[in-house]
Amino acid sequence: MNTIEIMNESTNTYDPVKIALQNRRKLEIYSYTLTTDWGLAEDAVQEAFVVLYKKQEKLGEKDNVYGWMKKIVRDKSIDIIRKRKKFTNMDSDLLNLVENSFNSHESSLYQEKLRAMSTVLEDCMSHLNSEDIQIIKKFYLKKNSCETIAEQISSSVNAIRLRLSRLRAKLRKCSNGKLEKLGESW
């Protein structure tokens, strides 16, 4: 889910806390890779949420809340380890290696998810007629405006907008259904 989709529906405002909450489990796993203790990891994430709560007004819609929280969680994890004296000497090279390994794994999962989503979308598009596929390609791939497409196929602009809206809804329903069958992680 992207930043634009995380708008509070009732007030139509940006909610960084909601974005962070949706990534809480990933943040806990990340902290665990640093602390190797689930209790400490949860503490670090909890402390990071306190920082977020205090500074949420300073974050804008274009800020990467997950990335920002990840940095805070890293700092809090290190602070907790030092306070608890779990490790007397923390090797920064080792810490960077652990962090890079986590980021690499996270990136691999993301790429795998993108491939699966692409396959699902292709399958859903295969059920559309050729004219609908051409309209989608003209709009999204060739970046043609609705006005341009309407001229090209001798239709009204409103008809193109309505058709695109219906096609998006149809593709969304199809892809969401297929992704649900793939499992919880979607």
Total domains in the chain come to 2
Closest by alpha carbon to 51, among 17, 82, 99?
A: 17
**pTM flag (> 0.75):** no
Asked if residue 96 belongs to a domain, the reply is: no
In a domain, 152, yes or no: yes
Asked if 20 and 46 touch (Cβ cutoff 8 Å), the reply is no
Read off the pLDDT of each residue in 35-62 and give the average, rounded to a whole number: 86
Residues 121 and 157 in one domain: yes
* Structural domain ending residue among the three candidates 56, 90, 124: 90
pLDDT tens for 78-136 read 888 877 764 445 556 666 666 767 767 666 667 777 788 888 888 999 999 999 999 98
Q: Which amino acid makes up residue 160?
A: I
